[in-house]
Structure 1
Amino acid sequence: MKARRWIALGIGAFILVFSVITSLSLAMNTYSQANWLAGAYDESVVIQEGDPSGSIALLEVNGAIINTTSDSLFSAEGYNHSNFMDLFYQTMSSPNVEGIIIAVDSPGGGVLESAEIHDAVIEAQENYGKPVYISMGSMAASGGYYLAAPAEQIFAYPQTLTGSIGVIMSSLNITELLDKIGVEETVYKSGPYKDMMSGTRPPTEEEDEILQSIVDEYYDEFVEVIANGRGMDEERVRELGDGRIYTGRQALEAGLIDELGSINDVIAAMQRDLGSNYQVIAIEPKQGLTSMFGLAAEKIFGKAEQKQGLMELTEYNQPRAMYLYDYE
């Protein structure tokens, strides 16, 4: 019986390995054909024909704005901060680009990452003279709104959820759980605050004050960004910025956006304001080897399992300050 069991296990392992190799081979073959047809690495696609003397570039921020490891073996889709920033700077410096539209569908994300996109929006407009319009999708909350604030025009659907102006910093405390199962952590540290936000002990009053001061500082920065970007009084921004979310209609009434409309409305508005029916080009990051492995993993394990594994490997749940609408 033992011999039969080992034989069965061996056959099963062989089938699994064969399936993985076959799927990877198929993904690589598909990728190679796509590159051959597209002229190797050019991932820009004309999505609306028009005046070819200039272009309106369409970029996407889709997902949590967090700079995680971009070269994960199984990364196939989702927001990649490093790739986006590279594309943004390439786009704003292109002499063929007359204006930039950023389609945002995001609950927000890291304080630093949101600020980097915000600063790049300003740079595109002030240093390169390229107007930036924002098209909000189903959600553009917290950091998703932060990055949009300095844009020349902000559009949203009536059903868009935006706002969530504020900062959140959290960690799990599992002290009671560890006590119940008889586990105790021993920590050696160089200073009293070296293990702040540890999940194995409650915070002290001094630590609460330190962490709250950080949250308050980031919140003040958020308020200033909106006040400057939207031309609003800081006191009014603080009234709006209590963490709540707004629909697109409510955001329009509050002065947080400029117009209600779809991505097509945003394109039409930019063409009108630029005075020419320029063609619209979607700019996408090029596919790499890691993306091919991601496609293969998706074929083998399915999207849900892949995403679950990715989320477990990312820094999403690390304790740090976030411009994030924490809706889960």
Structure 2
Amino acid sequence: MSLDSDVIVDRRRMRRKLTFWRVAAVLAAVAAVVVVGVVVTRSGSEALSSSGAIARIKIEGLIQSNNDRVEALERLEKSSAAAVVVHINSPGGTTAGSEQLYDALMRLKAKKPMVVVVEGLAASGGYIAALASDHIVAQQSSLVGSIGVLFQFPNFTGLMKTVGVEVEQVKSSPLKAAPNGFEPTSPEARAALESLVRDSYAWFRGLVQSRRAMDDAQLQKVVDGRVFTGRQAVDLKLIDQLGDEKAAVAWLVSEKKIKSDLPVRDFKLTPKFSDFTFLRAAATITLDAVGLGAIARQVEQAGLAQAMDGFGLDGMLALWRPATTN
């Protein structure tokens, strides 16, 4: 019995030591990943700040309110970057998020010469962001415009009748939580929504007219919600020039007197852990190696969770969605 007790005690000691070293290994790995991530992020920003290069920033995908992006743009304001090239490839997003981004870019433009390059798409909220620049460059086949706003909501009343479900509610007033998708939209609720849409649309139209110096006749040609190619947009005064980043830099050199030999360097607006794919992979392998496979799977899925986060858009939308057919 004494021998068995000693064996049990030894095994427990070994387990405790193994657990300790596993935890220590995980902490060391996490610390290493964080340090490398911080170094990579800071090195990019410091290289930009110390060199006085032209900063390249990218606005991609759906646009929503993003305080991290605003703070990054404020850091760029205070950097020694000589100028900024904004690459936009976005169908838009929420009206509030697009306005926030526009305001932040306007503040940046007040401190740094800025030019916008439309890559594939600058529609709706993406075009709102582009309007912050005094000069917009787009490729011939880029899509620009979609000036308008929309308010979309699902209506489940037909489905609910089919499955025999009713939703009961008590409201303080008829327009509270309207529309809700569980009952037919009343004329009063629809009129209230139309008022919101008209007001936001008027703001968007006014922004285009003032920033692009259009008269009423010119404005009427571009505000029906359609998108235009770069070739069409330059004639309609939605953009200023056809070209790419080289054309944008050439404009900065000729019009803003930026040195022609300055390099163009990336400045990340929202550097996050999930941006560093190789670091996330290293963390996953490390956690798996020390027996914490469940945590490894969570780390591995973190990128997917962030990617899916953009699908929930609430409120008024300045968004271009191409029609689909069956």
TM-score (norm 1): 0.75
Q: Are residues 1:201 and 2:183 paired? A: yes
Q: Are residues 1:159 and 2:141 paired? A: yes
Match of 1:321 in 2: 316
Task: Report 1:152-301 matches (<5 A).
Answer: 152-273=134-255, 274-276=257-259, 277-285=261-269, 287-289=271-273, 295=280
The separation in 2 between residues aligned to 1:27 and 1:284, in whole angstroms, is: 25
The separation in 2 between residues aligned to 1:313 and 1:35, in whole angstroms, is: 22
Q: Deviations over 1:112-165 (max 9, x none)?
A: 111122222322333x2x222001111110111111113121011111111100
What letter matches 2:83 in structure 1? G
- Cα pair 2:94 2:313 within 8 Å, conserved: no
Q: Deviations over 1:167-191 (max 9, x none)?
A: 0110010111011111111112211
RMSD of the alignment, in Å?
Answer: 3.3
What letter matches 1:279 in structure 2? P
The separation in 1 between residues aligned to 2:33 and 2:216, in whole angstroms, is: 50
Task: Report 1:41-60 matches (<5 A).
Answer: 41-44=42-45, 54-60=52-58
Q: Are residues 1:143 and 2:147 paired? A: no
Could you say what secondary structure the match of 2:63 adopts? Answer: coil
More helix by share: 2
Could you say what secondary structure the match of 1:155 adopts? Answer: strand
Distance 1:232 1:304, change over 3 A: farther
- Cα pair 1:141 1:163 within 8 Å, conserved: yes
The separation in 2 between residues aligned to 1:244 and 1:235, in whole angstroms, is: 17
The separation in 1 between residues aligned to 2:120 and 2:95, in whole angstroms, is: 21
The separation in 2 between residues aligned to 1:26 and 1:61, in whole angstroms, is: 35
- Structure number with greater CO (CA < 8 Å, separation at least 6) is 1
Task: Report 1:34-113 matches (<5 A).
Answer: 34-35=36-37, 38=40, 41-44=42-45, 54-67=52-65, 81-94=66-79, 96-113=80-97
What letter matches 1:266 in structure 2? A
What letter matches 1:216 in structure 2? R
* Contiguous gaps of at least 5 residues in structure 1: 1-20, 68-80
- Cα pair 1:109 1:324 within 8 Å, conserved: yes
1:317 deviates by 4.1
1:292 deviates by 6.8
Q: Deviations over 1:206-237 (max 9, x none)?
A: 11111111101111111111111111114422
Q: Deviations over 1:43-89 (max 9, x none)?
A: 33869xxxx7632211111110013xxxxxxxxxxxxx222211111
1:31 deviates by 3.5
The separation in 2 between residues aligned to 1:270 and 1:204, in whole angstroms, is: 53
Indicate the structure (1 or 2) with the bigger Cα radius of gyration: 2
What letter matches 2:105 in structure 1? V
The separation in 2 between residues aligned to 1:209 and 1:286, in whole angstroms, is: 39
Identity of counterpart residues, as a percentage?
25
The separation in 1 between residues aligned to 2:76 and 2:57, in whole angstroms, is: 9
What letter matches 2:75 in structure 1? Q
Distance 1:36 1:111, change over 3 A: closer
* Contiguous gaps of at least 5 residues in structure 2: 1-22, 285-295
Distance 1:201 1:306, change over 3 A: farther
The separation in 2 between residues aligned to 1:292 and 1:46, in whole angstroms, is: 18
- Cα pair 1:175 1:201 within 8 Å, conserved: yes
Farther off after superposition, 145-154 or 52-61: 52-61
